[in-house]
Chain A
Amino acid sequence: MVPLIVASAQAAYAFAPAVFGLVREVGGVTPMLVLTLVVQGLAVAAFMLGRRRLHHSPVR
């Protein structure tokens, strides 16, 4: 499963420099930094969603 998560991550981050460049060009530096924070927050949310499921579902 490690190859699958690494592959999907790489397919996503392949576009990151271009997307961040576009945001920087259109909106400036602050929107680009805000975008970083938002996406990092989503990453943490994804980690936590998986954690909640792992800790509660086996009880059923």
Chain B
Amino acid sequence: MHTSPRPFHGWRVVAGAFVIAVFGWGLGFYGPPIYLHALTDQRGWSVGLVSGATTLHYLSGAALIAVLPRLYARFGLGRVTRLGTLALALGLVGWAAAQAPWQLFVATLFTGCGWVTLGAAAINAMVAPWFARLRPRALSMAYNGASVGGIVFAPLWVFLIERFGFLAAAVVLGVAALVVVGGIATRIVAVKPSELGQFPDGEAAGPAAAAASQGAALPAGALWRDRGFRTLAAAMALGLFAQIGLVAHLYSLIASPLGTGLAGVVAGLATASAIVGRTMFGWMMPAGADRRVWASASYAVQAAGVVALMASGLEGPSAILAGVLLFGFGIGNATSLPPLIAQAEFVRRMPHGWCR
């Protein structure tokens, strides 16, 4: 068992990654729909124009995610996270200060590239070196920060923008992110197990555990030729496409039958349901389970929610609530299970480190 004189640092990394996820999703994922409303309201820009900016925000981030491992290897996880947070903060101010559409589109490049250093791949990179057997539990706890980010930041953005204006809100939350995430990135999540003489899961080192904690170059070409990888990538892309497409319209769908106040509460309950679903799967999934089956089961629950919404005809609070809660149950798992499937399938089949 664990014989290190220091307490196992891995759970501190999970806590740090949780807070970083709160800021990452709060500013980079749940923020854009609110920025869209603020900009169409204040600048008079069309929904289509600002929606296009949001799409560019996600696309620019996607381009950066692919090279994140190389950036981590060259500059270190802590420095990349701090720089990403700075880019995110500057980009937020850019969204709020933009007086012309081209300025908005430039700002989206900053926010898009910045938020992914606090996003799903980044959280996985922070937690993965510290956990092998306990990774489902650790990752689910860290990723719950994403859901909390929505619960905390969505109403906070609305309050600050209404009270002080979009620019002041962006400056305040951007500085808060720099201070909080900057500190955590430097002192907590950038620390590697080897620097403390510790090993994954806080246990004594075994060859497999030590190997699992090591990084390696990412052979992207070989991965895309692998059918297991392609089906995993396709499943995650399709699942999130369906989920985010519906989530983007969910509030406006239920606001009419429920009223805006109750609809806001119900939308918040969907996020709470996501935390329940992710935590439940993270703790209940057995070590040798086929994680693709668990991921499919999560989507089945979500689909049941969609069917319930259809059957309700979007009338009747109880049926709508049931549909939203069932749909929400799988929201978190859609992000957290694919990295765990990668860990289970590719660690065994490929050179160490490819799953990171």
Chain A residues engaging chain B, CB cutoff 8 angstroms: 1-21, 24, 29-30, 32-37, 39-44, 46-51, 53-54
Contact = CB atoms under 8 A, between A and B. Distances in A.
A7 to B, nearest CB: 4
B220 to A, nearest CB: 6
Nearest to B119: A6
Nearest to B305: A36
Contacts of B119: 6
A3 B66 contact: yes
Contacts of A43: 234-236, 238-239, 242, 299
B54 A17 contact: yes
A9 B248 contact: no
B100 interface: no
Nearest to B293: A51
Given A8-B62, A39-B241, A40-B299, A3 B69 contact: yes
B190 interface: no
Nearest to B128: A2
A11 B306 CA distance: 24
Interface string B201-217: 00000000000000000
Q: How large is the interface on B (under 10, 10 to 19, 20 to 34, 35 or more residues)?
A: 35 or more
B245 A35 contact: yes
B98 interface: no
Contacts of B11: none
A7 B152 CA distance: 26
A37 B303 contact: yes
B251 interface: no
Nearest to A15: B55
Interface stretch (B17-25, B76-84, B88-96, B338-346): B338-346
Q: Which 9 A-B pairs have the closest CB atoms?
A: A50-B231, A14-B58, A20-B245, A16-B245, A17-B248, A46-B235, A7-B65, A39-B242, A43-B239
A49 to B, nearest CB: 5
Contacts of A14: 54-55, 57-59, 62
Contacts of B342: 1-2, 5
B121 interface: yes
Given A3-B66, A3-B121, A10-B61, A32 B236 contact: no
Interface stretch (B156-164, B173-181, B222-230): B222-230
A13 B240 contact: yes
Nearest to B338: A5
A13 B237 contact: yes
28 contacts: A2-B124, A5-B237, A10-B62, A12-B237, A13-B237, A13-B244, A14-B62, A15-B55, A16-B240, A16-B241, A16-B242, A16-B244, A16-B248, A17-B244, A21-B51, A33-B310, A37-B306, A40-B238, A40-B239, A40-B306, A42-B234, A46-B235, A47-B231, A47-B293, A47-B295, A47-B299, A49-B231, A50-B228
A56 B10 CA distance: 36
A3 B65 contact: yes
B355 interface: yes
Of A3, A29, A35, A44, chain B has the most CB atoms within 10 Å of the CB of: A3
Contacts of B236: 5-6, 8-9, 43
A23 to B, nearest CB: 9
